Structure 1
Amino acid sequence: MSSGNISFVKDFFIVGFPGLQPGYYGAVAALLLFAYVCILVGNGIFIALFTLEKRLHKPMYYIILNLVVSDLLFSTTTLPKIISRYWFQDGSISFTGCFIQMYFVHYFGSVSSVILAIMAFDRYVAICNPLRYPNIVTKLNIFCLCLAAWVLTNTCPLMMAIRAYPLPYCSGNTIIHCYCDHISITSLACINRALYGVPAFAFAMVVLLGPLAFIIFSYCAIIVAVLHISSTQGRLKSFSTCSPQLIIIALYFLPRCFIYLSSIIGINFSTDLRLVIIMMYSLFPPMINPLIYCLRTKDVKETLLKKIKVSMNPLFIPTKVNVSTVCV
């Protein structure tokens, strides 16, 4: 394509759901805002509980803390702009801002994927090597693993953004998505997209399937180990310690695998349905995960109930302090 046919884009416009009628814009904006508030409140409560309660300063909860932070940052990166698009009809985003959003979308998604693998590693050691658990899963080791997740996953999203930024864009500036991602941006470029799409697809597969393969291996080993436990009560207790993580992992990976596999085997969706599925697997885990932590994790549930009792009955505080002092 000649340079004379290339129009240099100064900003992009996020369309969102292309088939949505204007009369439903307010309802969709309110629904997205409700989801965002739930994410902020639910994950914020866990961060507050973790900060205030020393009994939660355990390796497993450090892993959950990293997942919470990643969920919060991902939601804050994506939701405000699409809410603004439907509430104030302001879907415009600057050229540079769109690439910054694209980078963070893929970065935080990659971090969450690796953190879930670390969570599976924690359960694998706890059940398959319980005697060595205190020596293997230490705060320092978990800190190093989580730090590696934040540092090492930064490279590919950064390279994707750097490679896509200088491309010539001439196919309009409308992004048929709820946020800027690599596919939606590079599809507007005046180049053979395969040169950029294939490496990006390979990166997505590595980030998705690499941790997922480790998770599957870990839980297969866990199932084998649990089935060798003689008592039924012991088997149920072991499975119950894994159930919160399994729910979180299923919410994160299953819809993503469905989207990728459907495109490979030739199952076609309407654009709106595809975006609905994408938004569901982007929003449901950050919304539901705090409920799983609080309702399915004993320490968090007890800490939350204690804080609620304290807030409802101020006299509960000195009573609790006196009893603790006596017990010590």
Structure 2
Amino acid sequence: MSDSNTTNFINPSTFILLGIPGLETEHVWISIPFCITYTIVLLGNIIILYVVKTEPSLHEPMYYFLCMLAITDLVLSTSILPKSLSIFWFNSREIKFNACLTQMYFIHGFFMVESGIFVAMAFDRYVAICHPLRHSTILTNTVVAKICLAMLLCGCIIVLPSILLARQWPYCRSNIVPNTYCEHLAVVKLACTDISISISYGLFVVFFVTGLDVAFITVSYIQILRAILNLPTKKIRLKTFGTCGSHLCAILAFYIPRLFSFLTHQFGQYVPLYFQVLTSNMYLVLPPMLNPIIYGALVLRPSS
């Protein structure tokens, strides 16, 4: 295996995932929080899906979007954590080339889907607070289903060019990926050709697409705050704003780790590689773990 790690090749049959470079001896201990995280993700999101399905009073647009979020979190976490744990526990570092691209597609695609779901949830809060009498007529079950389908298709289609580009590059430097999963930039950097198109498109997705999502959420909450400030009493204003609390917490838990990871990679020359890898894992695994805790405590429990 050691020879294949350094020999030049054009079409690698496998990649080697290093896990967390520099902390290989600590992999068993690092696996503990990863395992706990995955357990919480599975139990928390499955419970949310079950409660919403079995409680008729929760059959509303906000909870339908929450179910979509739970499904997305399950897919996102399952795309990364089982393989990471197999590296930590069994030193199973090999991943087939096509499996690597598939993992990359699901991870980055469903990250974009989740970003879109937060936009849809912001729109739901906007309609509920700014146009409460029209909420049921604007967000019908059909409209909610179309929004969820649009978010799914948008996220999956936007990421597809990155995967197709990564698939066509010739790889002749190494097949060693310094991460626990097939992160897009870490993989394409192994190509022995000009990858500026891949990098440019990746930046386009991060800044333009994700930026549009953040902008839409920001505009929605500006309108929400304006509507709340026009309410007659402080008690009513606080109660109304409280309905947005869980959504705001989930947004912060989603975008802040991503921003932190991006800044860490931008200043990578000053940051140890193991820390860059850890942050790239955290922005993917923390939101799926925190979302069921946030919504379970602030939304589902009081309603049920």
TM-score (norm 1): 0.86
Unaligned runs of 5+ in 2: 1-6
Alignment match, 1:307: none
Q: 1:11 aligns with which of 10, 14, 22?
A: 14
User: What amino acid is aligned across from residue 290 of structure 1 in structure 2?
Assistant: P
**Structure 1 pair 142–109 and aligned structure 2 pair: CA distance change class (3 A):** same
Q: 2:37 aligns with which of 35, 40, 56?
A: 35
Can you list the C-alpha shifts for 1:81-112, whole angstroms capped at 9, x where unaligned? 11000100001100110001011111100100
Q: Distance in 2 between matches of 1:54 and 1:133?
A: 18
Can you list the C-alpha shifts for 1:221-275, whole angstroms capped at 9, x where unaligned? 1112111212011110011000100000011112212333565688842222222
Alignment match, 1:114: 116
Aligned 8 A contact 2:170 2:192 in 1: yes
Alignment match, 2:275: 273
Q: What number of residue pairs does the alignment pair up?
A: 298
Q: 1:293 aligns with which of 292, 295, 299?
A: 295
Alignment match, 2:3: none
Alignment match, 2:76: 74
User: The residue matched to 2:168 in structure 1 has which SS?
Assistant: coil
User: What amino acid is aligned across from residue 193 of structure 1 in structure 2?
Assistant: I
Is 1:152 matched up with 2:154?
A: yes
User: The residue matched to 1:13 in structure 2 has which SS?
Assistant: strand
Q: 2:27 aligns with which of 22, 25, 28?
A: 25
Q: Distance in 1 between matches of 2:267 and 2:131?
A: 40
Alignment match, 2:248: 246
User: What amino acid is aligned across from residue 15 of structure 1 in structure 2?
Assistant: L
Is 1:184 matched up with 2:186?
A: yes
User: The residue matched to 2:244 in structure 1 has which SS?
Assistant: helix
> 1:302 Cα deviation (Å)?
4.5
**Structure 1 pair 230–268 and aligned structure 2 pair: CA distance change class (3 A):** farther
Larger Rg: 1
> 1:149 Cα deviation (Å)?
0.6
Alignment match, 2:91: 89
User: What amino acid is aligned across from residue 153 of structure 2 in structure 1?
Assistant: V
Is 1:222 matched up with 2:211?
A: no
Q: Distance in 2 between matches of 1:85 and 1:178?
A: 7
Alignment match, 1:213: 215
Aligned 8 A contact 1:49 1:303 in 2: no
**Structure 1 pair 240–99 and aligned structure 2 pair: CA distance change class (3 A):** same
Moved more, 13-22 or 244-253: 13-22
Is 1:198 matched up with 2:205?
A: no
Q: Percent identity over the alignment? A: 34
User: The residue matched to 2:232 in structure 1 has which SS?
Assistant: coil
**Structure 1 pair 168–143 and aligned structure 2 pair: CA distance change class (3 A):** same
User: The residue matched to 1:165 in structure 2 has which SS?
Assistant: helix
Aligned 8 A contact 2:65 2:117 in 1: yes
> 1:207 Cα deviation (Å)?
2.9
Task: Say what the alpha-carbon RMSD is for the aligned residues.
Answer: 1.9
Q: Distance in 2 between matches of 1:263 and 1:21?
A: 21
Q: Distance in 2 between matches of 1:96 and 1:246?
A: 37
**Structure 1 pair 169–265 and aligned structure 2 pair: CA distance change class (3 A):** closer
**Structure 1 pair 266–128 and aligned structure 2 pair: CA distance change class (3 A):** farther
Aligned 8 A contact 2:42 2:74 in 1: yes
Moved more, 81-90 or 288-297: 288-297
Q: 1:136 aligns with which of 115, 135, 138?
A: 138
Aligned 8 A contact 2:87 2:180 in 1: no
User: What amino acid is aligned across from residue 162 of structure 2 in structure 1?
Assistant: M
User: The residue matched to 2:95 in structure 1 has which SS?
Assistant: strand
User: What amino acid is aligned across from residue 19 of structure 1 in structure 2?
Assistant: G
